[in-house]
Structures are given as structure tokens and as C-alpha cells.
């Protein structure tokens, strides 16, 4: 016979409950006697607080509280409240065995026996440190965002509820619209619209578009508190929660009045430039027959002194008028970006001489003393010769205009490092400081004497400054004051070639091959001016014929020639007895990487882009040693 011990049902339930509680690891669950001493301890309590059961059983639960909490009697107060209300819940700092703190959610439940007598407390503790850290980070992030939005002054940033009532108001909104937060919050945002816009239902329409498309943007006039208007860019964004429910709208407004004003000025300026271009074009039509008539008069043999003087006067005034018309046209082209420089390597000494020679009749007519102080050595620049001539002539014209009869005008040029400086000075009316500050503005003539203001349109210096800047230079004005003359000085990149040094340098032999005769001849001439020998061929066949007897140090070969192209010419040159030591440069209008790679693969030693600038040419010469 087998005897079986059967536990009472209550004992089985209690054991199961104990096992269940003990297996919980995310919550510290333990019992306290009526005095607050620990009488049970589960696995979760050990994990959270760091104590094993033997270390806490029988000890008062206040051991888990901070010194500050114990000093105020808070643990006992919790038990008192739990006993009074049956349950007490709190969050706060608690202390682990190792002394570290954690943020705890605590629930204390008062326990009673079946007979109603108080039996103690059940306490459940949960570690919420990580959640608190995230909540704190979120609060800090929200606070930083609030402070950032509040501190923005260039944009009005505020929130609307779903009906368009203002809920928040930043500093930028107060500055831009003139209302304080107290005056704006709680009112409908239609407050900022004009009456005619309200009549059209514009505020409601903006919210509808934002609601349908998520975002609405428009520009228009808005009204400040003082009634003044400003041109605003407005963006309204619908704000929805995680469930997709509309929470309101974010509205950002920016004052674009200054931008609108500048755009209107730009449109006005463009219309003015178009008018000037049209005017100049129309003025050229009557100038042509007048010029022809003057030419006829100049061909007339032995005119009377009166006719001769009248003819010369008409010629001078016609030349002056033609220059004004040309300047008008160029100003129009300049403002619309239609002026394009045609740069090439130039002997700057010649540009200066030609410019001065062209202006001599004007200076002679006013009995000016003119002096030109130019470099003895040859100065080269990579520039548009026509435009540089225009700059110099405008400066000389300006000097002649504001220098009384018998005055002195000087044209100087010198080189400093990689910059070529040009200066036109006079002993004429001079400039005040205010005149210097505005002298280069369009249609400005400074504050010269009224008599001198009567001629000219005030565009020559504006044009000169713009053309110098297009060349990478700077034009400036100086004066010691009224009646003390003025100096106009500009610089552009360039280089001086010392004739003596060039003569002492070893002479190199160059073969220039190009079907464009002007390009080939001018490039060869520059090489000769630099003290080297140069021969020219206008096609591949002639180039090979010359190369057989003329052992060139280097060949500059155009790629795109008809018949035998540059690649074929280079291949044949390499096959000559002296061809392996010859430096062969590709000369082409294409400067992209693909084209450079192509010429390199074909055996060219270097790649020069048309027009060949002086620096590239000098670098090539230096490679020859």
C-alpha cells in the first residue's frame, strides 16, 4: 500500500504564487511587515537593487532611499499614506547596494488579514532610469528648439491651432509684425491680411491648401500692427500627430520687401539699358552720312580758311559724338552680359602708343602738354587689345576734359611683379573725397565745376572700370583735392621681357604649323620678339618639308587642319632623324580633360589652348632649357 501526502489546495496556490513572483525580473516585488521591515524578496528586487535576500530580510525598507529622503522621514510618510488610502504611488531617486542611484516608480499597497487587521505592505518597484533619461533628453531637445525658435529674429515663426488661432509667437514675429505675444496669441491669423484679401477668403484658402497638400507657400503684401505693409514670403505647413490627426499649422513668414525693391530696381535698370542700346543704335544712322559729308569736305582741294576750320571743328565734334554713342552701346552690352573679351598675347607698348596717338588731336586742341613714360623693355599682356585701348582712351579723354587749357597730362606704365600698372595723371580740376567715392558710378561726373559738367554722359569711367575688372584688374582714382589734379591708375596681369636678357638667352628654333595664317604668323612673331628663331607652315605637307632641313627645338602644331591633321603631322615629325628629341605641342581650341588625354596618347608633349597665352608660351620655352 502506497501512502501519498496531499497538500491543502491553499498551500499549493500559495507556492505557485510565490514561484510566480520570484520569477519576475523586471519588477522588484517584496513584502513589508506593518513596521516597514522586509519579509520577502524576489529575483527582480535583487536585479534592480543589488541586494540578495539574506542582506535585506528583516531590515527597514528605508535603506533603499537617499539620505535626503530619510532625513525628511519620507519612507515612513509613504507607508502612512498607503495605509490611509490603501495604495500609494510615487516616482523618485532610489539607492542601489553599490551606492548608485536609479529613478524608480514605486507602488505600495496596504495588506489586511481576513479579519480586517493590518498585515503589512506589498511594494513593487520598477527601474525607470532609461525612460527618464529619454524623457529628459526630449525635454531638453524641446527646450533647445523652443529657445532657438524664440531667438530667431529674421523670421516670424508661430503655431496655429486647426482653426487658425495663434498658439505661439516668437521674437521674429514680434519684430516683423509689431504685435507682442500677449496681443497675438489667441487671435485668428487673418489679423495680418488686407481687407480685400479677407474678402476673398485668402487666409482660409491657405489653410485649406496646406491641409490638402501638406504645405502652402505664397508671396504677397501683409499688414503690420501700425498699418504699414511689407512684402512677405509665407509658408504654412500642416502638423499631424502619429495617428495622422491634424494638430494645427506651423507658419513661417519672412520680410522680402528689400528683395522685391532690388528686383524692381533691376527691372528698371534693364529697361534703361535696353533704351540706351536702342538710342545708341538709332543715333548711329544719322552719324554715317555726316561722316561721309566730312570726308567729302576733306577731299575738297584748297578750301578757304573758314571752311577748313569749320571742317576740322565738325570732324572733332563728330569723333567725340561717335565715341559717346559707342560708349552707350557698350554700357548696354556690359549690363546685359553681352560683352565678351577676345584675349590674345599683346605687346602692351604698342597698345599704349596707339591709344595716346589717337587722343593727341583732342589734347592738342586744348593746348595740353602731354608726356608718355613707357617701359624700355617689351611688356606683354594676355588681353583684348581693342578693349584696353578703349580703357586708356577713356582715361585720357577724361583727363583732357577736366584739365584747363595749357595744363599737363601724363601717361605712365610700369611693371611690378606679375602686374602691369598704367596711370593717367593731370594737373586739372581734381576731385573731392565724395567725388572719388562716386566717380565710377553710371552717369556720375562727381562734383566737378558746373562748366566742366556740361560735356559727357558720365559713362566713360564706368565702362573703363568694368573692362579693367573683366581683365582681372583694378581701376582706382586719387586726388589731393580740388584744383590739384587727379590720377587714375589700373593694373592687369602681365610680364616684362628684358631685351638684354633675351639677347643673352640661348636661341631656340620653333616650327609653327597652323592653317590659320594670322594665328600662325602672330605666334611666330611673338617667338621672334622673345629672341628666338621661328618658321611657319600653313599645312602639314609644308611643315614636313621645312622640318627636314630646319631642326626645330619645338613644334607648335594645330590639331584641326584640313588634309593632313595635327595628329598625322606629329607622327611624321617623330619619324625624322631629329624628331625624337623635338618637343611637340598640340595647339587646339579644346581644353577639356578628354581632349588633353587624347593628345597625350597621340604622343604630344604638351597641350596648348587657343589663343595661346603668354605664360603658357613662356612655360614651354623654359621646358626647352
What is the model's pTM? 0.43
Q: Does 181 have pLDDT greater than 90?
A: no
pLDDT at 129: 86
Q: What is the mean pLDDT of residues 223-237?
A: 88
CA distance 17 to 27: 15
Confidence of residue 382 (pLDDT cuts 50, 70, 90): confident
Alpha-carbon torsion, ordered 54, 57, 60, 64, to 10 deg: 50
Q: Does 484 have pLDDT greater than 70?
A: yes
Question: How many other C-beta atoms lie within 10 A of the C-beta of residue 19?
Answer: 9
Q: Percentage of the chain with pLDDT > 70? A: 85
Pairing of strands 509-513, 486-497: unpaired
Pick the CATH number of 134-255 from 3.30.830.10, 3.40.47.10, 3.30.450.20, 2.60.40.1180: 3.30.450.20
**Using only C-alpha atoms, what is the Rg of the chain?**
46
DSSP state of 468: H
pLDDT: which is higher, 498 or 181: 181
Q: What is the mean pLDDT of residues 449-471?
A: 68
Q: Computed from CA positions of residues 274, 278, 281, 284, in that sequence, does the dihedral angle turn out positive or negative?
A: negative
pLDDT at 458: 61
Pick the CATH number of 344-497 from 3.30.450.260, 3.40.190.10, 3.30.565.10, 3.30.70.1560: 3.30.565.10
Q: Does 376 have pLDDT greater than 80?
A: yes
Q: Please, are residues 32 and 123 in contact by the beta-carbon 8 Å criterion? A: yes
Pairing of strands 101-112, 87-95: antiparallel
Q: Does 453 have pLDDT greater than 50?
A: no
Q: Please, are residues 439 and 478 in contact by the beta-carbon 8 Å criterion? A: no
pLDDT: which is higher, 622 or 554: 554
Confidence of residue 572 (pLDDT cuts 50, 70, 90): very high
Least confident of 182-186, 261-265, 288-292: 288-292
pLDDT at 622: 83
Residue 498: partners with Cβ closer than 8 Å, 6 or more residues away: 377
C-alpha dist (Å) from residue 104 to 22, 120, 244: 19, 21, 33
pLDDT at 320: 67
DSSP letter for each residue of 277-346? HHHHHHHHHHHHHHHHHHHHHHHSSS--HHHHHHHHHHHHHHHHHHHHHHHHHHHHHHHTT------EEE
pLDDT at 78: 92
pLDDT: which is higher, 48 or 307: 48
Cell 611666330 sits on residue: 524
Cell 509684425 sits on residue: 177
Phi, psi of 619 (to 5 degrees): -60, -40
Residue-wise pLDDT tens digits, 391-445: 999 999 999 989 999 999 999 999 988 899 999 999 999 988 888 888 887 655 5
**SS3 labels along 262-282:** HHHHHHHHHHHHHHHHHHHHH
pLDDT at 223: 84
pLDDT at 62: 92
Domains 12-127 and 134-255 share a fold: yes
The topology under which CATH files domain 12-127 is: Beta-Lactamase (3.30.450)
Question: How many other C-beta atoms lie within 10 A of the C-beta of residue 168?
Answer: 18
Q: Computed from CA positions of residues 151, 154, 156, 158, in that sequence, does the dihedral angle turn out positive or negative?
A: negative
Q: Does 291 have pLDDT greater than 50?
A: yes
Pick the CATH number of 503-623 from 3.40.50.2300, 3.90.870.10, 3.40.50.200, 3.40.190.10: 3.40.50.2300
CA distance 605 to 555: 10
CA distance 8 to 595: 99
CA distance 101 to 67: 11
Q: Does 121 have pLDDT greater than 60?
A: yes
pLDDT at 311: 80
Pick the CATH number of 262-335 from 1.10.287, 2.170.120, 2.40.160, 3.40.600: 1.10.287
Q: Please, are residues 468 and 474 in contact by the beta-carbon 8 Å criterion? A: yes
C-alpha dist (Å) from residue 229 to 192, 197, 254, 426, 530: 10, 13, 13, 52, 68
Confidence of residue 7 (pLDDT cuts 50, 70, 90): very low
pLDDT at 449: 39
Confidence of residue 294 (pLDDT cuts 50, 70, 90): confident
Q: Does 486 have pLDDT greater than 80?
A: yes
Domain locations in the chain as residue ranges:
12-127, 134-255, 262-335, 344-497, 503-623
pLDDT at 546: 94
CA distance 590 to 609: 6
Residue 397: partners with Cβ closer than 8 Å, 6 or more residues away: 323, 359, 362, 460
Bridge partners (DSSP) of residue 120 are: 111
| Length of the chain as a residue count | 625
CA distance 235 to 157: 10
Residue 494: partners with Cβ closer than 8 Å, 6 or more residues away: 348, 379, 380, 381, 382, 383, 415, 418, 419, 420, 614
Q: Where are the alpha helices (DSSP H) in 473-539?
A: 499-504, 517-529
Phi, psi of 577 (to 5 degrees): -55, -40
Confidence of residue 3 (pLDDT cuts 50, 70, 90): very low
Amino acid at each position: 500500500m502506497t501512502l501519498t501526502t496531499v497538500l491543502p489546495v491553499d498551500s499549493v496556490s500559495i507556492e505557485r504564487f510565490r514561484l510566480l513572483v520570484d520569477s519576475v525580473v523586471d519588477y522588484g516585488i517584496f513584502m513589508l511587515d506593518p513596521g516597514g521591515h522586509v519579509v520577502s524578496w524576489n529575483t527582480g528586487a535583487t536585479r534592480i537593487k543589488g541586494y540578495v535576500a539574506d542582506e535585506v530580510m528583516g531590515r527597514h525598507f528605508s535603506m533603499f532611499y537617499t539620505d535626503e529622503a530619510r532625513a525628511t522621514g519620507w519612507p515612513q510618510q509613504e507607508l502612512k499614506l498607503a495605509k490611509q488610502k490603501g495604495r500609494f504611488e510615487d516616482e523618485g531617486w532610489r539607492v542601489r547596494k553599490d551606492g548608485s542611484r536609479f529613478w524608480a516608480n514605486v507602488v505600495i499597497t496596504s495588506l489586511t488579514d481576513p479579519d480586517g487587521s493590518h498585515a503589512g505592505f506589498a511594494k513593487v518597484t520598477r527601474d525607470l532610469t532609461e525612460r527618464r533619461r529619454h524623457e529628459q533628453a526630449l525635454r531638453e531637445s524641446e527646450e533647445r528648439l523652443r529657445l532657438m525658435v524664440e531667438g530667431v529674429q529674421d523670421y516670424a515663426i508661430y503655431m496655429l491651432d486647426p482653426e487658425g488661432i495663434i498658439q505661439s509667437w516668437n521674437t521674429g514675429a514680434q519684430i516683423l509684425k509689431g504685435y507682442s505675444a500677449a496681443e497675438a496669441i489667441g487671435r485668428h491669423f487673418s489679423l495680418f491680411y488686407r481687407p480685400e484679401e479677407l474678402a476673398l477668403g485668402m487666409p482660409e484658402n491657405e489653410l485649406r491648401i496646406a491641409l490638402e497638400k501638406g504645405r502652402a507657400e505664397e508671396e504677397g503684401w501683409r499688414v503690420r500692427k501700425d498699418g504699414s505693409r511689407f512684402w512677405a514670403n509665407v509658408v504654412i505647413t500642416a502638423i499631424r500627430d502619429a495617428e495622422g490627426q491634424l494638430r494645427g499649422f506651423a507658419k513661417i513668414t519672412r520680410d522680402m520687401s528689400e528683395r522685391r525693391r532690388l528686383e524692381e530696381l533691376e527691372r528698371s535698370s534693364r529697361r534703361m539699358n535696353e533704351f540706351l542700346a536702342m538710342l545708341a543704335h538709332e543715333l548711329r544712322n544719322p552719324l554715317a552720312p555726316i561722316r561721309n559729308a566730312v570726308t567729302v569736305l576733306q577731299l575738297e582741294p584748297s578750301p578757304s580758311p573758314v571752311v577748313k576750320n569749320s571742317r576740322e571743328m565738325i570732324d572733332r565734334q563728330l569723333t567725340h559724338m561717335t565715341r559717346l554713342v559707342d560708349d552707350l552701346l557698350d554700357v548696354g552690352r556690359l549690363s546685359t552680359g553681352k560683352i565678351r573679351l577676345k584675349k590674345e598675347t599683346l605687346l602692351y607698348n604698342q597698345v599704349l602708343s596707339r591709344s595716346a596717338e589717337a587722343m593727341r588731336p583732342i589734347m592738342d586742341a586744348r593746348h595740353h602738354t602731354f608726356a608718355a613714360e613707357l617701359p624700355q623693355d617689351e611688356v606683354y599682356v594676355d588681353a583684348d587689345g581693342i578693349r584696353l585701348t578703349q580703357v586708356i582712351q577713356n582715361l585720357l579723354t577724361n583727363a583732357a576734359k577736366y584739365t584747363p587749357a595749357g595744363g599737363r597730362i601724363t601717361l605712365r606704365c610700369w611693371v611690378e611683379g606679375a602686374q602691369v600698372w598704367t596711370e593717367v595723371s593731370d594737373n586739372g580740376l581734381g576731385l573731392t573725397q565724395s567725388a572719388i567715392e562716386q566717380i565710377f558710378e553710371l552717369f556720375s561726373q562727381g562734383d566737378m565745376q558746373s562748366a566742366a559738367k556740361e560735356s559727357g554722359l558720365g559713362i566713360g569711367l564706368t565702362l573703363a572700370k568694368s573692362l579693367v575688372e573683366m581683365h582681372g584688374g583694378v581701376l582706382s582714382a586719387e586726388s589731393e583735392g580740388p584744383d590739384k589734379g587727379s590720377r587714375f591708375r589700373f593694373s592687369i596681369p602681365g610680364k616684362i621681357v628684358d631685351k638684354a636678357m633675351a639677347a643673352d638667352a640661348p636661341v631656340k628654333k620653333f616650327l609653327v604649323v597652323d592653317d590659320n595664317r594670322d594665328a600662325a604668323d602672330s605666334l611666330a612673331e611673338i617667338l621672334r620678339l622673345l629672341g628666338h628663331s621661328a618658321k611657319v607652315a600653313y599645312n602639314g605637307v609644308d611643315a614636313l618639308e621645312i622640318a627636314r632641313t630646319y631642326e626645330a627645338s619645338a613644334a607648335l602644331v594645330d590639331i584641326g587642319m584640313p588634309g593632313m591633321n595635327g595628329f598625322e603631322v606629329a607622327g611624321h615629325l617623330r619619324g625624322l632623324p631629329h624628331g625624337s628629341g623635338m618637343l611637340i605641342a598640340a595647339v587646339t581650341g579644346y581644353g577639356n580633360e578628354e581632349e588633353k588625354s587624347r593628345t597625350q596618347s597621340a604622343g604630344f608633349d604638351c597641350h596648348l589652348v587657343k589663343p595661346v597665352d603668354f605664360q603658357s608660351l613662356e612655360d614651354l620655352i623654359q621646358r626647352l632649357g
